[in-house]
Amino acid sequence: MARNLALTSALSLALVACQSAPSVSAQTVAAPATPAPVAETPAPAQSVPLLDYQSIHHPVTARNGMVVSQEELASRVGVQILEQGGNAVDAAVAVGFALAVTLPRAGNVAGGGFMMIYDAETDDYISIDYKELAPYAAFRDMYVDENGEVDLDAARREYTASGVPGTVAAFEVALENYGTMSFAEVVAPAVELARNGIEVTYDLAQSLEFAEDKLGSNAAARAIFYHEDGSYYQPGEILVQEDLAWSLEQIGQYGAAAFYEGELAEMIVADQEANGGLITMQDMADYEAELREPLRFDYRGYELVLMPPPSSGGVHIQQMFNVLDEFDLAEMGHNSAATMHIVVEAMRQAYADRSVHLGDPDFYDIPVEWLTSDEYAEETLAAIPADHARSSADVNPGVAPPPESPDTTHYSVWDSEGNVVSNTYSLNYSYGNGAVAAGTGILMNNGMDDFSAQPGQPNGYGLIGGEYNSIEPHKRSLSSMTPAMILQDGKPYVVTGSPGGSRIITTVMQVLMNVIDFDMNIAEATNAPRFHHQWYPDVVFVEPVGFSADTIRAMEAMGYVFEEAGYTMGSTQSIMRQGDFLYGAADPRRPGAMAIGY
Ligand code: DON
């Protein structure tokens, strides 16, 4: 704790001056000296501390169950399953399939991700790793052309960009072990949405228009997502996905076997063969979702439960919190220059380590213990200057990334028995590689770009990888997806997670920090302005509103370079439990996200 003082005393005058300047962030404005008249606050029947009229960010409140996802219809499907007596896992699988219909840019059948479950009956925390696998025919330099350059189209856009998908395998593992309903029951709402059609929202209409370059160049995708004359779906029109309805029915009827060995597998593989893809029947048949031991550690009296490798998020959040634990962040101020300096330097070190030490734990011994040790935190701290920014070139060399437009999605579910699910899954980019396996209505992922195609060469998120994340047959690519939970007194207190490519880790970390260090309710913790640093490029990305000019100036004087990043810092979907109530917060950064409780 003394480090806070050591740091602030050594900071430049400019920095000290800026600390006294209030941030423009609404979330960080302290309660006024004179409280609002008490009579205006209705007396709660029971202690409901978060329905606080002193805040402008209010979570959705419910008593029995809650579903928070990126899309309203999918959230409704989840609540409907809970109301029918299904548990959180039943609802989570139903939401996962529904999102494949209603949020096709990220919801998926043929993608990959991570699911974390809290089983209230056994008091167990389970994590399911269903990241895509490199096909057997994949090899280390498969995307490197004759000039030694990475062929970005091959890694991201062509059929060779798809890894062997994991979503259906994971949903079966989850349902069979922790659910109560059949595959047919949980798939049914998605089948109905695909067959009867969904009303196209403004968000979906816009996203399909933006994706025309990708989806329009694949015959099967074009036939689904655009009118026959090539015109765009308009908001309010009905989008029917008949092939997808059939595929989902197959899964409902025959389970994961339909997808990995049955007719669907045959259709996907035939499509791969016809278009230069690498996925074979053997790849499909051999795919297995892996149960992994979640990472658990303490931070300021709370326990955190996070996704272990091949997610890099859990390890690096622990690594960063080990450093932050030495500072009194609440005292230093939310998003103050002093806090941001320490957090950014912790981020810089974590992302530098990510480029070398993280990969598939089935292929390498990931040095998790060392990265998350107190000794390593001490070493990291000792290297952080008190009064100025480091240069990433001094921490490790790298290259700036090309910008890309990504998409993944997260959802959280909590049921009346106390079971909790946190699921992040993805096609990697929006609409994956844009290829629909003919006849299936199923969009394929471009998860192979999560590998490092060449050591030192950044992927689509600017992430630099090393040998541990090189391509090898049936290896999982390193991921940033980080489903997360905070426990209080050993029980789930907060569940969260986010899309955002490389920004997932720092986004999830800031939500956790906002709750733990800054005592925010879950809506405040969600809405609060975010920042990000990932070692390379050596830039602090900030959201457009919420960082005072004084803070920025003070940090620029310390050597930091800022870039406005728009509102692209994730989209968290979170639930907090306090007393008898559940509080849901859908991230306002992307349209359509919705928390629904009952
Ligand atoms: O696993 C990963 O890290 C990436 N496939 C995640 C992609 C992503 O978050 C895209 N979202 N906005």
**Is residue 408 annotated as a catalytic residue, yes or no?**
yes
Task: Say what the pTM is.
Answer: 0.90
Q: Is 91 helix (H, G, I), strand (E, B) or coil?
A: helix
Parallel, antiparallel or unpaired: strands 540-542 and 436-437: unpaired
The residue from 339, 380, 408, 506 that is catalytic is 408
All structural domains of the chain, each given as residue ranges with its CATH number in brackets, are 66-291+412-469 (no CATH), 294-405+481-597 (3.60.20.40)
User: 479 alpha carbon to ligand 1 midpoint, in Å?
Assistant: 7
- Ligand 1: residue of 446, 504, 532 to mutate (most ligand atoms within 8 A of CB) is 504
User: 481 alpha carbon to ligand 1 midpoint, in Å?
Assistant: 6
Residue 449, ligand 1, Cβ within 6 A: no
3-state secondary structure 189-229: HHHHHHHHCEECCHHHHHHHHHCHHHHCCCHHHHHHHCCCC
Q: 């062509």: which residue's tokens?
A: 158
The torsion angles phi and psi of 61, rounded to 5 degrees, stand at: -110, 140
User: 190 alpha carbon to ligand 1 midpoint, in Å?
Assistant: 23
Between CA 446 and CA 160 the distance in angstroms is 8
Between CA 385 and CA 586 the distance in angstroms is 37
Joined tokens for residue 354 = 């990510």
Residue 498, ligand 1, Cβ within 6 A: no
Residue 483, ligand 1, Cβ within 6 A: no
Amino acid making up residue 295: L
Q: Which residue has the CA at smallest separation from atom 8 of ligand 1?
A: 501
Residue 459, ligand 1, Cβ within 6 A: no
User: 187 alpha carbon to ligand 1 midpoint, in Å?
Assistant: 24
Between CA 391 and CA 563 the distance in angstroms is 16
Do residues 17 and 9 touch, judged by C-beta distance below 8 A?
no
Neighbours of 192 (CB within 10 A): 16
pLDDT attached to residue 396: 57
Tens-digit pLDDT profile for the chain (598 aa)?
A: 333 333 333 322 222 222 222 222 222 223 333 334 444 454 445 555 456 778 889 999 999 999 999 999 999 999 999 999 999 999 999 999 999 999 999 999 999 999 999 999 999 999 999 999 999 999 999 999 998 889 999 999 999 999 999 999 999 999 999 999 999 999 999 999 999 999 999 999 999 999 999 999 999 999 999 999 999 999 999 999 999 999 999 999 999 999 999 999 999 999 999 999 999 999 999 999 999 999 999 999 999 999 999 999 999 999 999 999 999 999 999 999 999 999 999 999 999 999 888 999 999 989 999 999 999 999 999 999 999 999 998 885 333 233 344 589 999 999 999 999 999 999 999 999 999 999 999 999 999 999 988 877 777 777 777 788 999 999 999 999 999 999 999 999 999 999 999 999 999 999 999 999 999 999 999 999 999 999 999 999 999 999 999 999 999 999 999 999 887 899 999 999 999 999 999 999 999 999 999 9
Do residues 277 and 216 touch, judged by C-beta distance below 8 A?
no
Between CA 244 and CA 253 the distance in angstroms is 14
Please give the number of the atom of ligand 1 that sits closest to the Cα of 424.
9
